[in-house]
A and B are shown apart, each in its own frame.
Chain A
Amino acid sequence: MTGPNMTGEPLLDVRDLKVSFRTEDGLVKAVDGVSLTLFEGETLGIVGESGSGKSVTMMSVMRLINDPNARFEGEVLYKGHDLMTLNRDQMRAIRGTGISMIFQDPMTSLNPVYRVGAQIAEQIRAHDHVSKQAARARAIELLAAVGIPQAAHRVDNYPHEFSGGMRQRVMIAMAVSCNPDILIADEPTTALDVTIQAQILKLLRKLRNDFGTAVVLITHDMGVVADLADRIAVMYAGRIVEQGTRREVFYDAQHPYTWGLLGSIARLDRPKPRRLAAIPGQPPSLLRLAPGCAFADRCAHRFDLCDEPPELLERVDGNHLDACHLEPKQKKELRETTIHPELIENAE
């Protein structure tokens, strides 16, 4: 397994990305100053609940948001080029060969009236000047590579003839058909059963290891990132509230929202708690965000400084960033009351 190459230039460098939508009710700041890096061969997990801005961030990187009411600020550097300044054709050349994306619901992402083979071949021929036969042969190869049995036969099936898991495999085959450097997977297993989820995660792991593809994995499931991600960014209300390596985020979580996420999972690997540590309240409306910490209203450890906006800073060590005003020492004590204490012991 080739580990991520974290030295040198990042493959993808998102700098202070802001995405807002003008709506009838006012300005929705869906993404509010997100900075991310992704290195070659690395898997970055982006975790957050619905509305946290995790999908909008990555859709913006792909320049897939065409809403005339959307406004973008910031830079998205891919191999040194700012994707935000590219025109349609230039961007089209990058999609598929440079960066490609798979989505949660493979049924709506596939065209129901074309055979899957034709859909994959179309993409291959859009980027490579090859014959129809060669594109079809490559499509069969790809379907076999993502674990579709009898690929030579299945290539002529329509999307509805596949099960949910198989459709997601088709999507993955299509996404990797032009050997992209980066694969963005937006909740790739959310619509699937656990046993099928395990198959798809295994496949993603294999692709990453075989081809060295860097992966951005968007999910709400802490279990999935624990399994697959090298680094994790936790998003809340359009901002990153914590970012670090997988072990840092799980064993040395700094932000109370991360504690809440970890505490509210009913997990199989721990004794059953009497009650789940639910986060009270609901995510704030992105229309009326308070100037301070967006999580403050739901946070049990709120104090006067929380009315000031917290910056995402190195507060503990290394590249472990968090956006919480509490002192690291305080956090350590408070955290243990919020998530299961065994989790902390594990790290030490």
Chain B
Amino acid sequence: MTAAEAPSTSSDSSYGNGDGELLLRAEHVTKYFPIRSGVLLQREVARVHAVDDVSLELRAGETLGLVGESGCGKSTLARCLARLYPLTSGSVVFEGQDISALSRRELRPVRRELQMVFQDPYASLNPRKRVGEILSDPLRIHKRGNRDQIKRRVRELLELVGLSPEHINRYPHEFSGGQRQRIGVARALALHPKLIIADEPVSALDVSIRAQVINLLDDLQDELHLTYIFIAHDLGVVRHVSDRIAVMYLGKIVEVSPAEELYQRPIHPYTEALLSAVPIPDPDLSDRRTQIVLEGDVPSPIVPPSGCRFHPRCRYATKICAQQEPPLAEYGGGHVAACHHPLNIDLPAAPGADAAPVPSAVPVPGAAPGGAPAQDAVPSAAADAEPLPPVAGGTAGAEVPAEEAQ
């Protein structure tokens, strides 16, 4: 799998992880949840715009990361793609077949190819079933072999995810969180799927265990040629696993980019703010960097803001942002973003993933001495106490003054 085989124009070698074959295409996927009121006649009084007109493509062998804050619709989108929810409108084409209107029965063969791993390994495993049953259920339902063959496959699966075959008779409560997540992964793998949608698979785990599960997912992808959609709110984890990343805000995809490039040159102000909010586990870097702190919360998806949905919190917002919704525009190398005031567009596209990347929201180590005072600026009381600078378009992010990164 080389970059040359990928039909994309991307120069990012990590993008070459997808072998080019289109596996899944979502077009204008929209999911509204009705809010009903009334005693007898449950009239629809409003709608939660959970996912609004999202289109994306997924190539075999790649990992697409999906990031955003809680409530941005990333889990709903995942469930729409897996057809766990019916769509309000739009289509999902998986392996050349439109699955958006299939019946339950027709979906069955699709389910074999498309599996999910869920966040909470405590809630997603039936506490009354032994591990052996949990793992053999999908095999029985889809009639994959006789009793002995199924038993053999279950043992194989346990070994595949790093558990001992002796665990076969244990119940979920006898395992730690990390081990349970391994069981969840094994269950997803049982039917040799092509695509695994992992919804925050490591968020509930401790750091050291989290790294184990991420490494496991990585190994499995190489071994079994899996394609992943990986949902997480931890941007470090997403960068580590993804070839491409889609950023969501309030039901919309606002930016899609090859993974490394997103961190080096975020184009959408929301991506910039999101990256900047991640705490850096390095005291000196942490003291030096400019942090953009977004004010306020994500607005209600029941009545999303007009125009660009991010404009009430955006520090670059102008009049047009409230009036017109920006379309997703192409910035080269498979990098698209929906913003009227795109950032970093005069920077060159990211080089290959091998080059040492430094996210633009983080100062380059050693590059600090320069103009502005660095060390003392960030945590100072004065900086924090300052009133927010009024930015056109309403309340906006306050910037903690410190050394600018680039």
User: Contacting B207 at CB < 8 Å: which of A165, A210, A220, A346?
Assistant: A220
Of B211, B294, B358, B381, which one neighbours A264 at CB under 8 angstroms? B211
**Which chain B residues lie closer than 8 Å to A163 at the CB level?**
297
The CA-CA distance from A224 to B277 in the complex, in Å, is 11
| Bound Cα distance from A195 to B313, whole angstroms | 11
Say how far A104's CB is from chain B's closest CB, in angstroms. Answer: 13
Q: Does B117 interact with chain A (Cβ within 8 Å)?
A: no
A73 at the B interface (CB under 8 A): no
A contact residues around B285 at 8 Å (CB): 269
Q: A1-B380, A275-B218 are in contact. Are A226 and B280 (CB under 8 A)?
A: yes
* Contact, CB under 8 Å: A250 / B283: yes
From known contacts A195-B69, A199-B293, infer whether A210 and B282 are also in contact, taking CB-CB under 8 Å: no
Kindly state whether residue A202 has any CB partner on chain B within 8 Å. Answer: yes
CB distance from A288 to the nearest CB of B (A): 15
Interface residues on A, range: 35 or more
B295 cross-chain contacts in A, Cβ below 8 A? 199
Return the contact of A209 from the options B70, B179, B359, B384 (Cβ within 8 A): B384
* Interface contact A261-B385, CB-CB below 8 Å: no
Q: Is the CB of A198 within 8 A of B236?
A: no
CB contacts under 8 Å to B, within A226-282, are 226-228, 246-247, 250-251, 260-269, 271-273, 275-280, 282
Q: Closest residue to B177 on the A side, CB-wise?
A: A50
Q: Which one, B233, B280, B362, contacts A193 given CB within 8 A?
A: B233
Number of B residues near A (Cβ < 8 Å) is 58
Q: What distance in Å separates the Cβ of B94 from its nearest Cβ neighbour in chain A?
A: 29
B246 to chain A, nearest CB (A): 17
CB distance from A285 to the nearest CB of B (A): 10
Residues of A contacting B44 in the complex (Cβ-Cβ under 8 angstroms):
none
* Cβ-defined partner of A220 (8 Å) among B179, B206, B380: B206
Once the chains are docked, how many angstroms separate the CA of A223 from the CA of B235? 12
Report the bound CA distance from A166 to B280 in whole Å.
24
Nearest Cβ in chain B — how far from A42, in angstroms? Answer: 14
Q: B2-22 CB contact bits vs A (8 Å, 1 = yes)?
A: 000000000000000000000
> Bound state CA distance, A261 and B357, in angstroms?
22
What residues on B are CB-neighbors of A228 within 8 Å? 379
A279 and B178 CA atoms in complex are apart in Å by 12
Is the C-beta of A201 less than 8 angstroms from some C-beta in chain B? yes
Closest to A247 in B: B283
Report the separation of the CA atoms of residues A50 and B240 in the bound assembly, to the nearest whole angstrom.
Answer: 23
Tell which of B209, B211, B260, B384 has the most Cβ of chain A within 10 Å: B211
Residue of B nearest to A211 (CB): B381
Contact of A266 among B234, B275, B291 (CB under 8 A): B234
User: Which of A50, A194, A209, A262 interacts with B281 by CB under 8 Å?
Assistant: A262
Contact with A265, one of B207, B294, B297, B358 (Cβ below 8 angstroms): B207
Chain A residues positioned under 8 Å from B239 (CB to CB): 266, 268, 272
A residues 176-231 near B (Cβ < 8 Å) are 193-199, 201-202, 205-206, 209-210, 220-224, 226-228
**Complex interface bits, B353-365 against A, C-beta within 8 A gives 1, otherwise 0:** 1001111011001
* Chain B 386-403 interface mask (CB, 8 Å, partner A; 1/0): 000000000000001000
A250 touches B297 (CB 8 A): no
Inter-subunit contact B211/A279 (CB<8 Å): yes
Residues of A within 8 A of B283 (CB): 226, 246-247, 250-251
Q: Are B379 and A209 in contact (CB under 8 A)?
A: yes
Chain B residues with CB under 8 Å of A226's CB are: 279-283, 286
CA distance A205 to B402 in the complex (A): 15
Kindly state whether residue A343 has any CB partner on chain B within 8 Å.
Answer: yes
Find out whether the CB atom of A272 lies under 8 angstroms from the CB atom of B281: no
From residue A168, how far is it (CB to closest CB) to chain B in Å?
12
**Contact in complex: B384, A202 (CB < 8 Å):** yes
21 examples of A-B residue contacts, CB within 8 angstroms: A166-B297, A196-B69, A196-B297, A198-B276, A202-B293, A205-B384, A206-B385, A221-B279, A223-B280, A246-B283, A250-B281, A264-B208, A265-B236, A267-B236, A267-B282, A268-B239, A268-B275, A268-B361, A269-B285, A272-B239, A346-B365
Chain B residues with a Cβ under 8 A of chain A: 69-70, 176, 178-179, 206-212, 214-215, 218, 233-237, 239-240, 260, 263, 273-286, 291, 293-295, 297, 353, 356-359, 361-362, 365, 376, 379-381, 384-385, 400
Q: Lowest 10 A-B CB distances belong to which pairs?
A: A223-B279, A278-B211, A209-B381, A264-B211, A266-B236, A279-B208, A276-B211, A266-B240, A198-B277, A222-B281
Known: A206-B384, A221-B207, A247-B284. 16 other contacts (CB 8 A): A193-B70, A194-B277, A198-B277, A199-B294, A226-B280, A226-B281, A226-B282, A260-B208, A265-B207, A265-B281, A267-B236, A268-B236, A268-B239, A268-B263, A282-B176, A346-B282
